[in-house]
């Protein structure tokens, strides 16, 4: 006689309760911020009420494990942060990549940031998707694979030089190679090139390894 299967009990937590808990997490987090930052640094927020003048423009991945404001202990107003899947920066294209162009144009031209830093990170899902994409061009997702294709040339560099390595090691190398590509793509934006040529704007690459707890930077070539 076959034993009767033991089934997991259905969850007794209603969607309404889960939503309430999520909202509570937001409010409790805000109260902590208000007590520890907002109320202790009134001069910062009085200045921000008049406008912003961040020193850094940071391009980072949208990955929840990679939060620039937490990593670098930024106060509000210190950094203009742009996040996307695999921290992709496409080349200049008014039509196809207007969203990226607008996000870049505002801090560079209007806020006059002094430093642009493009940060890659360990175990990036976007880079993994790039390296494991179907060779025939077919997609298993609606948007992700098409987006990370911007970094195809970085993938080709890694596949040519490091195809003998395990897949995870190839991903690690491509995470850095993609940053180098994005720094070159930044130079296709006329207002970025102008800032670099006038020495009013510096470009840097960065890499955060959240497994080892390390961070490195390098100046764009």
Kindly list the catalytic residues: 61, 63, 65, 121, 124
Question: Residue for token digits 């009420």?
Answer: 49
Q: Is 121 assigned a ligand-binding role in the annotation?
A: yes
Give every CB contact of residue 190 below 8 A, 6+ residues apart in sequence.
92
- Residues 67 and 63: their CA atoms lie apart, in Å, by 8
- Residues 41 and 133: their CA atoms lie apart, in Å, by 48
- Residue pair 137/158 in contact by the 8 Å Cβ criterion: no
Give every CB contact of residue 163 below 8 A, 6+ residues apart in sequence.
170
Q: How far apart are the first and last CA of the chain?
A: 72
Q: Is 61 assigned a ligand-binding role in the annotation?
A: yes
Give binding residues for Zn(2+) as ranges: 61, 63, 121, 124
Tell me the binding residues: 61, 63, 121, 124
């Amino acid at each position: 006689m076959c034993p009767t299967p033991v089934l997991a009990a259905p969850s007794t937590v209603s969607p309404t309760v889960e939503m309430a808990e999520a909202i509570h997490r937001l409010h409790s987090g805000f109260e902590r911020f208000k007590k520890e930052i907002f109320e202790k640094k009134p001069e910062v927020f009085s200045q921000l009420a008049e406008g912003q003048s961040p020193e850094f423009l940071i391009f980072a991945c949208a990955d929840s494990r990679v939060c620039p404001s937490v990593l670098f202990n930024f106060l509000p107003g210190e950094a203009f942060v742009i996040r996307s899947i695999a921290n992709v920066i496409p080349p200049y294209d008014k039509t196809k990549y207007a969203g990226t162009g607008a996000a870049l144009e505002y801090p560079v031209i209007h806020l006059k940031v002094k430093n642009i830093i493009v940060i890659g990170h360990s175990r990036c899902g976007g880079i993994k998707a790039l390296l494991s994409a179907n060779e025939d061009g077919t997609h298993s997702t609606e948007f992700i694979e098409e987006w990370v294709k911007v970094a195809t040339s970085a993938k080709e560099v890694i596949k040519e030089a490091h195809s003998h390595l395990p897949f995870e090691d190839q991903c690690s190398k491509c995470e850095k190679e993609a940053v180098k590509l994005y720094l070159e793509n930044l130079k296709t934006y006329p207002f970025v090139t102008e800032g670099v040529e006038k020495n009013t704007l510096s470009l840097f690459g960065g890499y955060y390894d959240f497994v080892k707890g390390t961070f490195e930077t390098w100046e764009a070539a």
